[in-house]
Amino acid sequence: MKPMLSKTTFRVSHRALLGHWLLVPLGAALHFAPHAPFTLAGANAPETLTNILSWAGMGLAAWGLLNIAYQRLAHEYVIGPDRVIERHGIIARRVTPLFIHHIRSTEVNQTILGRLLGYGTVKMSAAGTGTSEARFDRVANPLKVMASINSHFQSLAAGTGQE
């Protein structure tokens, strides 16, 4: 009996969403203490302006949380025994399957912040094209993801992968 490689699912890394995470405490601080910038400046804050700042803070925190939820729920990357699948969207959906035996190269791109926080983008190119056919954006441990793709490819090439 041939051993079957398992299916692995990846999502956008929490660390890649640092900018959105920072909006949450900033918005909360603005909501709960809208008069603080005026107090620090030694001025009295008009009540209408503090109300506007309070609502703006709540909106900023909500915007950050909604963006985090969307990025985590709307992007799914799957490495299966015979293919990789890139899924984007919640209501409207875009699914890009790519058979592993068609992959000719894998590439990892990481920014400086991505290297520090441990996330990056894995691009896969298919046979006969010079462009990326599938890409896993902002995944944690991109080198581990690339190694997983390569091990599935080697197992399939050796005849141990099952469809």
CA–CA separation, 58 vs 61, rounded Å? 5
Segment-wise mean pLDDT, segments of 10 residues, the chain, 163 residues: 69 93 95 89 88 95 96 94 92 90 90 95 81 85 92 78 45
CA–CA separation, 112 vs 118, rounded Å? 10
**What residue segments make up the domains of the chain, in order of their start?**
15-98, 102-162
Q: What is the pLDDT of residue 79?
A: 93
- In order of 128, 132, 134, 150, the CA distances from 124 in angstroms are 12, 5, 5, 11
Q: What is the pLDDT of residue 160?
A: 54
